[in-house]
Protein backbone atom coordinates (compact mmCIF):
# COMPACT_ATOMS: atom_id res chain seq x y z
CA UNK A 1 0.00 0.00 0.00
CA UNK A 2 1.38 3.38 -0.96
CA UNK A 3 1.88 6.21 1.47
CA UNK A 4 -0.91 8.14 -0.30
CA UNK A 5 -3.34 5.23 0.10
CA UNK A 6 -2.46 4.86 3.79
CA UNK A 7 -3.02 8.58 4.30
CA UNK A 8 -6.43 8.36 2.66
CA UNK A 9 -7.44 5.65 5.16
CA UNK A 10 -6.51 7.76 8.18
CA UNK A 11 -9.26 9.59 10.05
CA UNK A 12 -9.26 12.11 12.91
CA UNK A 13 -12.80 11.02 13.87
CA UNK A 14 -11.81 9.10 17.00
CA UNK A 15 -9.62 12.00 18.16
CA UNK A 16 -12.43 14.51 17.57
CA UNK A 17 -15.15 12.34 19.12
CA UNK A 18 -13.09 11.55 22.21
CA UNK A 19 -12.14 15.15 22.94
CA UNK A 20 -15.82 16.08 22.67
CA UNK A 21 -17.11 13.07 24.63
CA UNK A 22 -17.92 15.26 27.63
CA UNK A 23 -20.79 16.64 25.54
CA UNK A 24 -22.45 13.20 25.48
CA UNK A 25 -22.55 12.87 29.26
CA UNK A 26 -23.61 16.49 29.67
CA UNK A 27 -26.49 16.08 27.19
CA UNK A 28 -27.67 12.86 28.85
CA UNK A 29 -27.51 14.48 32.28
CA UNK A 30 -29.56 17.43 31.00
CA UNK A 31 -32.18 15.14 29.45
CA UNK A 32 -32.56 13.25 32.73
CA UNK A 33 -32.82 16.49 34.72
CA UNK A 34 -35.48 17.80 32.31
CA UNK A 35 -37.35 14.47 32.50
CA UNK A 36 -37.28 14.35 28.70
CA UNK A 37 -37.42 10.57 28.41
CA UNK A 38 -40.42 10.40 30.74
CA UNK A 39 -42.19 13.09 28.70
CA UNK A 40 -41.74 11.07 25.51
CA UNK A 41 -42.99 7.99 27.35
CA UNK A 42 -46.11 10.00 28.22
CA UNK A 43 -46.84 10.44 24.49
CA UNK A 44 -45.21 13.81 23.84
CA UNK A 45 -43.22 13.36 20.67
CA UNK A 46 -42.68 16.67 18.87
CA UNK A 47 -40.13 19.29 19.82
CA UNK A 48 -42.95 21.76 20.50
CA UNK A 49 -44.83 19.41 22.84
CA UNK A 50 -41.64 18.38 24.61
CA UNK A 51 -40.53 21.97 25.08
CA UNK A 52 -43.90 22.82 26.61
CA UNK A 53 -43.87 19.79 28.91
CA UNK A 54 -40.24 20.20 30.02
CA UNK A 55 -40.47 24.01 30.22
CA UNK A 56 -37.65 24.75 27.77
CA UNK A 57 -37.19 26.79 24.61
CA UNK A 58 -38.24 25.05 21.40
CA UNK A 59 -34.83 25.66 19.84
CA UNK A 60 -33.03 24.15 22.81
CA UNK A 61 -35.31 21.13 22.90
CA UNK A 62 -34.95 20.47 19.16
CA UNK A 63 -31.17 20.59 19.30
CA UNK A 64 -30.98 18.43 22.44
CA UNK A 65 -33.35 15.81 21.00
CA UNK A 66 -31.48 15.71 17.69
CA UNK A 67 -28.22 15.22 19.55
CA UNK A 68 -29.73 12.38 21.57
CA UNK A 69 -30.77 10.77 18.28
CA UNK A 70 -27.21 11.11 17.00
CA UNK A 71 -25.72 9.38 20.06
CA UNK A 72 -28.34 6.62 20.18
CA UNK A 73 -30.77 7.50 22.97
CA UNK A 74 -33.71 8.54 20.77
CA UNK A 75 -35.05 7.81 17.29
CA UNK A 76 -36.53 10.38 14.89
CA UNK A 77 -38.93 10.15 11.99
CA UNK A 78 -39.94 13.47 10.39
CA UNK A 79 -40.60 15.68 13.45
CA UNK A 80 -41.44 12.83 15.83
CA UNK A 81 -39.05 11.63 18.54
CA UNK A 82 -39.36 8.20 20.18
CA UNK A 83 -37.53 6.25 22.86
CA UNK A 84 -35.20 3.41 21.99
CA UNK A 85 -35.93 0.14 23.85
CA UNK A 86 -33.02 0.82 26.23
CA UNK A 87 -34.16 4.40 26.90
CA UNK A 88 -37.71 3.22 27.55
CA UNK A 89 -36.46 0.61 30.02
CA UNK A 90 -33.86 2.64 31.89
CA UNK A 91 -34.63 6.34 31.46
CA UNK A 92 -38.43 6.68 31.59
CA UNK A 93 -39.26 7.41 35.22
CA UNK A 94 -42.37 5.22 34.99
CA UNK A 95 -40.31 2.13 34.19
CA UNK A 96 -39.62 -0.30 37.06
CA UNK A 97 -36.03 -0.49 35.75
CA UNK A 98 -35.46 3.29 35.85
CA UNK A 99 -31.79 4.16 36.38
CA UNK A 100 -31.86 7.93 36.08
CA UNK A 101 -31.03 8.46 39.75
CA UNK A 102 -27.51 7.19 39.06
CA UNK A 103 -26.64 10.52 37.44
CA UNK A 104 -26.75 12.11 40.90
CA UNK A 105 -23.63 10.14 41.81
CA UNK A 106 -21.92 9.31 38.51
CA UNK A 107 -22.22 12.91 37.32
CA UNK A 108 -21.32 14.50 40.65
CA UNK A 109 -18.10 16.40 41.44
CA UNK A 110 -17.15 13.54 43.80
CA UNK A 111 -16.60 11.39 40.72
CA UNK A 112 -15.72 13.89 38.00
CA UNK A 113 -13.23 16.01 39.95
CA UNK A 114 -10.77 13.11 39.95
CA UNK A 115 -10.47 13.42 36.17
CA UNK A 116 -9.61 17.11 36.00
CA UNK A 117 -5.91 16.31 35.56
CA UNK A 118 -5.40 12.75 34.38
CA UNK A 119 -1.76 13.42 33.54
CA UNK A 120 -1.21 14.26 37.21
CA UNK A 121 -2.81 11.04 38.46
CA UNK A 122 -0.78 9.02 35.98
CA UNK A 123 2.42 10.68 37.21
CA UNK A 124 1.35 10.10 40.81
CA UNK A 125 0.11 6.53 40.33
CA UNK A 126 -3.11 7.33 42.18
CA UNK A 127 -5.59 10.03 43.05
CA UNK A 128 -4.49 13.62 43.59
CA UNK A 129 -7.72 14.51 45.40
CA UNK A 130 -7.39 15.92 48.90
CA UNK A 131 -7.36 13.23 51.55
CA UNK A 132 -6.58 10.46 49.08
CA UNK A 133 -10.08 10.27 47.64
CA UNK A 134 -13.34 9.67 49.44
CA UNK A 135 -12.72 6.75 51.76
CA UNK A 136 -12.82 8.63 55.05
CA UNK A 137 -15.21 7.83 57.92
CA UNK A 138 -18.83 8.93 57.50
CA UNK A 139 -18.08 10.53 54.12
CA UNK A 140 -21.43 12.11 53.06
CA UNK A 141 -20.94 11.10 49.43
CA UNK A 142 -21.52 7.44 50.28
CA UNK A 143 -25.05 8.27 51.43
CA UNK A 144 -25.64 9.88 48.03
CA UNK A 145 -24.10 6.80 46.41
CA UNK A 146 -26.36 4.43 48.35
CA UNK A 147 -29.52 6.28 47.35
CA UNK A 148 -28.59 7.09 43.76
CA UNK A 149 -27.06 3.78 42.71
CA UNK A 150 -29.55 1.39 44.33
CA UNK A 151 -31.71 1.01 41.19
CA UNK A 152 -28.64 0.00 39.18
CA UNK A 153 -27.87 -2.76 41.69
CA UNK A 154 -31.31 -4.39 41.90
CA UNK A 155 -30.69 -6.76 38.99
CA UNK A 156 -27.20 -7.92 40.05
CA UNK A 157 -28.50 -8.36 43.61
CA UNK A 158 -31.25 -10.66 42.34
CA UNK A 159 -28.85 -12.57 40.11
CA UNK A 160 -26.38 -12.99 42.99
CA UNK A 161 -29.10 -14.42 45.22
CA UNK A 162 -29.87 -16.94 42.48
CA UNK A 163 -26.19 -17.83 42.05
CA UNK A 164 -25.86 -18.47 45.78
CA UNK A 165 -28.95 -20.71 45.86
CA UNK A 166 -30.83 -18.53 48.33
CA UNK A 167 -34.14 -20.17 47.38
CA UNK A 168 -32.95 -23.39 49.03
CA UNK A 169 -33.75 -21.57 52.29
CA UNK A 170 -31.06 -23.14 54.47
CA UNK A 171 -30.29 -21.40 57.77
CA UNK A 172 -27.73 -18.79 56.89
CA UNK A 173 -25.78 -16.15 58.76
CA UNK A 174 -24.63 -13.40 56.41
CA UNK A 175 -22.26 -10.46 56.84
CA UNK A 176 -22.60 -7.72 54.20
CA UNK A 177 -19.34 -5.72 54.26
CA UNK A 178 -19.60 -2.11 53.02
CA UNK A 179 -23.30 -2.76 52.54
CA UNK A 180 -24.20 0.72 51.26
CA UNK A 181 -27.80 0.49 50.03
CA UNK A 182 -27.88 -3.06 51.42
CA UNK A 183 -29.58 -4.57 48.38
CA UNK A 184 -27.30 -7.61 48.11
CA UNK A 185 -27.90 -8.79 51.65
CA UNK A 186 -31.56 -7.80 51.45
CA UNK A 187 -32.04 -9.91 48.29
CA UNK A 188 -30.64 -12.95 50.13
CA UNK A 189 -32.98 -12.32 53.06
CA UNK A 190 -36.00 -11.93 50.77
CA UNK A 191 -35.30 -15.21 48.97
CA UNK A 192 -34.31 -17.10 52.11
CA UNK A 193 -36.62 -16.72 55.14
CA UNK A 194 -33.96 -18.38 57.31
CA UNK A 195 -31.22 -15.87 56.47
CA UNK A 196 -30.02 -13.44 59.13
CA UNK A 197 -28.08 -10.47 57.74
CA UNK A 198 -25.59 -8.15 59.45
CA UNK A 199 -24.86 -4.99 57.41
CA UNK A 200 -21.53 -3.26 58.03
CA UNK A 201 -20.84 0.31 56.86
CA UNK A 202 -20.49 3.86 58.12
CA UNK A 203 -23.32 4.77 60.48
CA UNK A 204 -24.79 7.45 58.21
CA UNK A 205 -24.89 5.06 55.23
CA UNK A 206 -26.57 2.31 57.22
CA UNK A 207 -29.70 4.45 57.57
CA UNK A 208 -30.26 3.88 53.83
CA UNK A 209 -29.79 0.11 54.16
CA UNK A 210 -32.20 0.02 57.10
CA UNK A 211 -34.83 1.90 55.08
CA UNK A 212 -34.45 -0.57 52.22
CA UNK A 213 -34.62 -3.57 54.55
CA UNK A 214 -37.84 -2.28 56.08
CA UNK A 215 -39.33 -1.63 52.63
CA UNK A 216 -38.44 -5.21 51.64
CA UNK A 217 -40.05 -6.62 54.78
CA UNK A 218 -36.87 -8.22 56.15
CA UNK A 219 -35.99 -5.71 58.87
CA UNK A 220 -36.65 -8.23 61.68
CA UNK A 221 -33.80 -10.38 60.32
CA UNK A 222 -31.55 -7.42 59.50
CA UNK A 223 -29.20 -5.67 61.89
CA UNK A 224 -26.41 -3.17 61.42
CA UNK A 225 -22.77 -2.97 62.47
CA UNK A 226 -21.46 0.61 62.11
CA UNK A 227 -17.81 1.37 61.50
CA UNK A 228 -14.83 0.58 59.31
CA UNK A 229 -14.47 -2.90 57.85
CA UNK A 230 -10.81 -2.74 58.84
CA UNK A 231 -11.49 -1.85 62.46
CA UNK A 232 -14.75 -3.30 63.81
CA UNK A 233 -15.03 -6.86 65.06
CA UNK A 234 -17.01 -8.95 62.57
CA UNK A 235 -18.06 -11.70 64.93
CA UNK A 236 -17.80 -15.34 63.84
CA UNK A 237 -19.44 -18.40 62.27
CA UNK A 238 -20.78 -16.67 59.17
CA UNK A 239 -21.96 -18.86 56.30
CA UNK A 240 -21.49 -16.04 53.79
CA UNK A 241 -19.56 -12.80 53.81
CA UNK A 242 -20.45 -10.42 50.99
CA UNK A 243 -17.77 -8.17 49.51
CA UNK A 244 -19.68 -6.35 46.78
CA UNK A 245 -17.98 -3.56 44.83
CA UNK A 246 -15.58 -2.91 47.70
CA UNK A 247 -12.20 -4.55 47.18
CA UNK A 248 -11.46 -2.50 44.06
CA UNK A 249 -10.78 0.53 46.28
CA UNK A 250 -7.57 -0.95 47.70
CA UNK A 251 -4.13 -2.26 46.79
CA UNK A 252 -3.37 -6.01 47.10
CA UNK A 253 -1.65 -5.92 50.52
CA UNK A 254 -4.63 -4.04 51.98
CA UNK A 255 -7.07 -6.47 50.37
CA UNK A 256 -5.18 -9.49 51.72
CA UNK A 257 -5.21 -7.97 55.20
CA UNK A 258 -9.01 -7.65 55.01
CA UNK A 259 -9.43 -11.13 53.50
CA UNK A 260 -7.57 -12.72 56.42
CA UNK A 261 -10.09 -11.03 58.72
CA UNK A 262 -12.94 -12.33 56.53
CA UNK A 263 -11.43 -15.83 56.60
CA UNK A 264 -11.33 -15.82 60.40
CA UNK A 265 -14.99 -14.77 60.65
CA UNK A 266 -16.32 -17.56 58.42
CA UNK A 267 -17.32 -20.99 59.69
CA UNK A 268 -15.49 -23.98 58.12
CA UNK A 269 -16.74 -24.32 54.57
CA UNK A 270 -18.12 -20.78 54.62
CA UNK A 271 -17.83 -18.63 51.51
CA UNK A 272 -16.56 -15.15 50.78
CA UNK A 273 -18.60 -13.68 47.93
CA UNK A 274 -16.84 -10.99 45.92
CA UNK A 275 -18.84 -9.14 43.24
CA UNK A 276 -16.61 -6.89 41.17
CA UNK A 277 -15.55 -5.33 37.89
CA UNK A 278 -13.23 -8.17 36.81
CA UNK A 279 -11.51 -7.83 33.41
CA UNK A 280 -9.86 -10.59 31.46
CA UNK A 281 -6.16 -11.22 31.99
CA UNK A 282 -5.33 -8.79 29.17
CA UNK A 283 -6.87 -5.98 31.28
CA UNK A 284 -8.48 -4.39 28.19
CA UNK A 285 -11.59 -6.55 27.82
CA UNK A 286 -14.52 -6.56 28.32
CA UNK A 287 -14.63 -2.75 27.97
CA UNK A 288 -16.70 -1.75 31.04
CA UNK A 289 -14.87 -3.87 33.67
CA UNK A 290 -11.49 -3.10 32.12
CA UNK A 291 -12.09 0.66 31.90
CA UNK A 292 -13.05 0.74 35.59
CA UNK A 293 -9.35 0.69 36.46
CA UNK A 294 -9.07 4.33 35.31
CA UNK A 295 -11.86 5.30 37.71
CA UNK A 296 -9.88 3.72 40.53
CA UNK A 297 -6.70 5.48 39.42
CA UNK A 298 -8.53 8.81 39.55
CA UNK A 299 -10.39 8.24 42.81
CA UNK A 300 -8.23 6.07 45.08
CA UNK A 301 -4.59 5.86 46.19
CA UNK A 302 -4.14 2.22 45.12
CA UNK A 303 -7.36 0.66 43.86
CA UNK A 304 -7.73 -1.24 40.57
CA UNK A 305 -9.90 -3.53 38.47
CA UNK A 306 -8.17 -6.83 39.16
CA UNK A 307 -8.31 -9.89 36.87
CA UNK A 308 -9.32 -13.20 38.42
CA UNK A 309 -5.73 -14.46 38.66
CA UNK A 310 -4.96 -11.67 41.13
CA UNK A 311 -8.08 -12.33 43.20
CA UNK A 312 -7.24 -16.03 43.23
CA UNK A 313 -3.75 -15.25 44.51
CA UNK A 314 -5.03 -12.83 47.18
CA UNK A 315 -7.62 -15.29 48.47
CA UNK A 316 -5.04 -18.10 48.52
CA UNK A 317 -2.59 -15.92 50.47
CA UNK A 318 -5.38 -15.15 52.96
CA UNK A 319 -5.92 -18.86 53.65
CA UNK A 320 -8.88 -19.76 51.43
CA UNK A 321 -8.83 -23.26 49.97
CA UNK A 322 -10.47 -22.60 46.60
CA UNK A 323 -11.67 -19.68 44.47
CA UNK A 324 -14.03 -19.87 41.51
CA UNK A 325 -15.02 -17.21 38.99
CA UNK A 326 -18.67 -16.97 37.93
CA UNK A 327 -20.32 -14.69 35.35
CA UNK A 328 -23.44 -12.80 36.38
CA UNK A 329 -25.36 -12.24 33.14
CA UNK A 330 -26.84 -10.00 31.90
CA UNK A 331 -24.79 -7.64 34.11
CA UNK A 332 -21.17 -6.65 33.53
CA UNK A 333 -20.18 -7.92 37.00
CA UNK A 334 -18.44 -11.18 37.83
CA UNK A 335 -18.38 -13.04 41.12
CA UNK A 336 -15.53 -14.78 42.92
CA UNK A 337 -16.68 -17.47 45.35
CA UNK A 338 -13.89 -18.35 47.77
CA UNK A 339 -14.30 -21.23 50.24
CA UNK A 340 -12.68 -21.36 53.67
Domain layout of the chain by residue ranges:
13-98, 109-339
201 vs 105 pLDDT, higher one? 201
User: What's the pLDDT at 111?
Assistant: 86
Answer yes or no: are the C-beta atoms of 144 and 108 closer than 8 Å. yes
Confidence of residue 142 (pLDDT cuts 50, 70, 90): confident
Q: What value does the mean pLDDT take over residues 250-279?
A: 98
- Per CATH, domain 109-339 is 3.30.830.10: no
Rounded to the nearest 5 degrees, what angle is found at the Cα of 127, between the Cα atoms of 122 and 129?
Answer: 130
The confidence score (pLDDT) of residue 268 equals: 97
pLDDT > 70? residue 132: no
User: CATH for 13-98?
Assistant: 1.10.10.10
Return the percent helix, strand and coil in the chain, to nearest 5: 50, 15, 30
Give the DSSP per-residue string, 288-305: HHHHHHHHHHHH-SS---
Residue 269, pLDDT > 60, answer: yes
CB 191 within 8 Å of CB 161 = yes
Tell me: pLDDT of 8 over 90.
no
Question: Could you tell me which residues come within 8 angstroms of residue 261 by beta carbon, excluding any fewer than 6 positions away?
Answer: 229, 230, 234
Distance CA 296, CA 108 (A): 16
User: Does residue 330 carry a pLDDT above 70?
Assistant: yes
pLDDT at 35: 98
The arithmetic mean of pLDDT across residues 239-266, rounded, is 98
Examine the pLDDT at 133 and tell me if it is beyond 70: no
Interatomic CA distance for residues 263 and 234, integer angstroms? 11
User: Where residue 135 falls among pLDDT bands split at 50, 70, 90?
Assistant: low
Amino acid sequence: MTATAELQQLSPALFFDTLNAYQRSAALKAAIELDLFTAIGEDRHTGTDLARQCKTSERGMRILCDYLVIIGFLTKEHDRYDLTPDSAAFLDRHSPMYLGTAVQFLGSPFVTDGFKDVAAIVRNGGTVLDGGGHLGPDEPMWVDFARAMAPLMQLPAERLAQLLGAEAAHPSKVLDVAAGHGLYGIALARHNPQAEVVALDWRNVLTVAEENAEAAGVDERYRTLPGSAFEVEFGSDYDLILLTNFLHHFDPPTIEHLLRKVHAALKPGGRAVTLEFIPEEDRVSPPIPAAFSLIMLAGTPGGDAYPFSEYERMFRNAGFSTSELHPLPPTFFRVVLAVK
